[in-house]
């Protein structure tokens, strides 16, 4: 069997499905699902989200240039989907999905209490790229829920049961198969 050739498309899957939170200067808040997100740099620590200008949250992002990336879990899968298909123009998604907004340390956008990890971000550059606008941001703080810490104080991702998104579907992550450097580590 050979390989099929498809039209150009983004096939970098799976990818994290996160809940991004934003706010404006009047105190209005919103939560939206973002699939286009990730790490830009580890030093300085930077991340990004890409959002369509038609989204309700877009003007809040443009005004405050702040957001929070809230990682999602199997328990948050329904809310993650809902917040991606329903507009904040029409409904308060925090209330509808029983998500608890918590005051952030550095930005006006709230954290989501139910998320295992919240990443506070301040935009340093905005790039209009086709149908999405990329908000490149400096990471100002990371909040990790203590209930997901192991006995050594390390964050246990498996306990959090994170989800990913691929071609219109959500998946839980499977078992750990190795760690960084295991391919060259000396056998014990």
Radius of gyration of the chain (CA): 18
Omega prior to 14 cis, within 30 of 0 = yes
- Res 188 pLDDT > 80: no
Question: Residue 130 — very low, low, confident or very high, per pLDDT cuts 50/70/90?
Answer: very high
Alpha carbon distance 162, 145 (integer Å): 13
- Res 162 pLDDT > 90: yes
Question: Residue 96 — very low, low, confident or very high, per pLDDT cuts 50/70/90?
Answer: very high
Question: Residue 58 — very low, low, confident or very high, per pLDDT cuts 50/70/90?
Answer: very high
Q: What's the pLDDT score for residue 157?
A: 84
**Residue-range domains of the chain with CATH:** 15-172 (2.30.110.10)
Q: What's the pLDDT score for residue 175?
A: 79
């Amino acid at each position: 069997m050979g390989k099929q050739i498809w039209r150009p498309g983004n096939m970098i899957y799976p990818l994290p499905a996160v809940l991004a939170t934003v706010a404006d200067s009047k105190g209005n808040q919103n939560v939206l699902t973002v699939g286009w997100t990730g790490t830009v740099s580890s030093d300085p620590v930077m991340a990004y989200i890409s959002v369509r200008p038609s989204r309700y949250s877009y003007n809040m992002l443009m005004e405050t240039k702040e957001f929070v990336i809230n990682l999602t879990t199997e328990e948050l899968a329904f809310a993650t989907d809902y917040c991606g298909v329903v507009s904040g123009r029409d409904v308060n998604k925090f209330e509808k999905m029983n998500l608890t907004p918590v005051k952030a340390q550095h930005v006006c956008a709230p954290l989501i209490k139910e998320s295992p990890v919240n990443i506070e971000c301040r935009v340093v550059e905005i790039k209009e790229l086709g149908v999405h606008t990329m908000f490149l941001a400096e990471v100002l703080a990371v909040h990790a829920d203590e209930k997901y810490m192991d006995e050594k104080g390390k964050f246990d991702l498996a306990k959090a049961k994170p989800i990913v998104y691929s071609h219109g579907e959500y998946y839980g992550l499977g078992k750990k198969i190795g760690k960084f450097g295991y391919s060259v580590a000396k056998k014990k």
